[in-house]
Structure 1
Amino acid sequence: MPEPNRRSPRTRPPQYRRTPVDPYRDHLRRRLADEPGVAVTRLLAEIREQGYPGSATLLVRYLTQGRADPAHTPPSPRRLVAWLMSRPEDLPDHRRRHRNDRVACCPQMTVLAVRIGAFATLLTGRRGETLDAWITTVRDDDLPALHAFVAGLENDHDAVVAGLTLPSSNGPMEGANTKTKLIKRQMYGRAGFSLLRQRILLS
């Protein structure tokens, strides 16, 4: 008899949609921290004075889910990585605040966010000449995972510098190669080389 499904410790936290309560989350957090037993009706009155348009039921559900307490709804590693890899100004206000809270609570995370931002500037600004300085800085940090990334960069140092400096790339060639492989997979077992050649030329 198969064993019943058991919740894995790696199960991701629930993914909640944005609600009208989100803009008032910081206020709710402060109030719950200052007065843990505060009545929901009082919280409802306070946020309605600030413009909250939703219902009491929605607020109760929001509080019950623990969404006013960041410790109860930690972001998944994948989501946190996505926040770190995004420009802070491109994130919605509530996500940017959540990102900043998570980054500020850990010294390693603070340093990691700074290093990622510096590398993004290096990448988008085509500043390959500053790569060595960035690598030297990262080596002094207590970030083993980033050290592995740096080791990969150093293994192909000249190509990485060229990619971060020159405006040209092998992107078009890689695209043509991928397209050719796709056509080959579509034709597998159906035709010979002459038809494959014709399709590649026509595409």
Structure 2
Amino acid sequence: MPDGFLDVRGQPRRIVATIRERHQAVQNLHAEGRSLRGISRDLDLDYYAVRRYARTANVDELLVKVTQRRTRLDDYKPYIYDRFTHGCRNASQLFREVRDQGFRGERTAVSRYVRLLRDGVVTTPPPPALPKPRRALRWIMTHPQRLRPDEAVGVKEIRAACPELDATVDHVRAFANLMHEHRGEDLLTWTAGIDEEALPHLSRFAHGLRHDLDAVTAGLSSSWSSGQVEGQVTRMKLLKRAGYGRAKLDLLRTRILLRT
């Protein structure tokens, strides 16, 4: 069982058992033909939680999302593991050392991890800490030439660690090139490439583009945009709200025309 599924005593965490029980109950009721709303009432669970349990066939996918969340200590676990294996078993000393390196968490977090090491629950070096999803997303959405050297290394590492993410980066950058170079005629070729990959999120995005293919193609092909119009509409709403709804049409018209 992965370390994230265990508590400090090496026993399965309570949340793991709870998620497994709820997932099994939802799957059983859903297989009987019950509606998600009905299951939500019967099990006294949030509707969106029930929908998540019903749509996820493999419960381990849910467990990984819950138990493998990043913590403040993740970036310092390799250091603590190395110091522990070289003889430093004092949790307070290790806490002071990682605090001097920038750790902003509580002492108890370090103590819990040292206890896992001391009890033999964690026996392998922790993997390198992965970047936060938002940071990785920013790297992917940034033009490669505008990435800092450390960010470029980060993109290379996450691409090497996950084949699906590697393919996603290629498709996202290809779509960015379509937008930048106004190559709307190549949109169908891009969506066809998505269909060949097992990338659910991009597949849904590509499917949505096909629903309004002509408009999307025109938008990607033309250098014109509605940005100026949208900006004027936003300005008009701001002026209207600044009058607290009491400005008559003639006053609003004057303020719009005079740009005041």
* TM-score (ref. length: structure 2): 0.53
The 3-state SS of whatever aligns with 1:164 is helix
1:128 paired with 2:207, answer no
Give deviations 1:30-54, integer Å, cap 9, x for gaps: xx7xxx9679xxxxxxxxxxxxxxx
Using the alignment, how far apart are the partners of 1:193 and 1:127 within structure 2? 43
Number of residue pairs aligned between Structure 1 and Structure 2: 162
1:77 paired with 2:77, answer no
Using the alignment, how far apart are the partners of 2:245 and 2:172 within structure 1? 47
Task: For 2:101, give the aligned amino acid.
Answer: R
Q: CA deviation at 1:171?
A: 1.7
Task: For 1:61, give the aligned amino acid.
Answer: Q
Using the alignment, how far apart are the partners of 2:224 and 2:126 within structure 1? 44
Using the alignment, how far apart are the partners of 1:110 and 1:181 within structure 2? 43
- Corresponding position of 2:209: 153
Check whether the contact 2:240–2:247 (CA below 8 A) recurs between aligned residues: no
Question: For 1:53-92, what aligned pairs fall within 5 Å after superposition?
Answer: 61=101, 71-92=127-148
Using the alignment, how far apart are the partners of 2:101 and 2:197 within structure 1? 42
Q: CA deviation at 1:163?
A: 1.0
Task: For 1:110, give the aligned amino acid.
Answer: D
Please point out which of 144, 152, 157 is paired with 2:200: 144
- Corresponding position of 1:54: none
Task: For 1:176, give the aligned amino acid.
Answer: Q
Q: CA deviation at 1:81?
A: 0.8
- Corresponding position of 1:100: 156
- Corresponding position of 2:37: none
Q: CA RMSD in A?
A: 3.5
Structure in which a larger fraction of residues adopt helix:
2
User: Identity of counterpart residues, as a percentage?
Assistant: 35
Using the alignment, how far apart are the partners of 2:188 and 2:229 within structure 1? 28
Q: Structure 1 pair 182/104, CA: closer, same or farther in 2 (3 Å)?
A: same
Please point out which of 217, 224, 227 is paired with 1:168: 224
Using the alignment, how far apart are the partners of 2:202 and 2:169 within structure 1? 11
Task: For 1:98, give the aligned amino acid.
Answer: G
Task: For 1:77, give the aligned amino acid.
Answer: P
- Corresponding position of 1:180: 236
Give deviations 1:81-100, integer Å, cap 9, x for gaps: 11111122211111211121
Check whether the contact 2:183–2:221 (CA below 8 A) recurs between aligned residues: yes
The 3-state SS of whatever aligns with 2:221 is coil
Question: For 1:26-41, what aligned pairs fall within 5 Å after superposition?
Answer: none
Check whether the contact 1:13–1:76 (CA below 8 A) recurs between aligned residues: no
Stretches of structure 1 lacking an aligned partner (at least 5 in a row): 1-7, 15-27, 40-56
Check whether the contact 2:168–2:199 (CA below 8 A) recurs between aligned residues: yes
Give deviations 1:58-80, integer Å, cap 9, x for gaps: 9x7279x9xxx994532111111
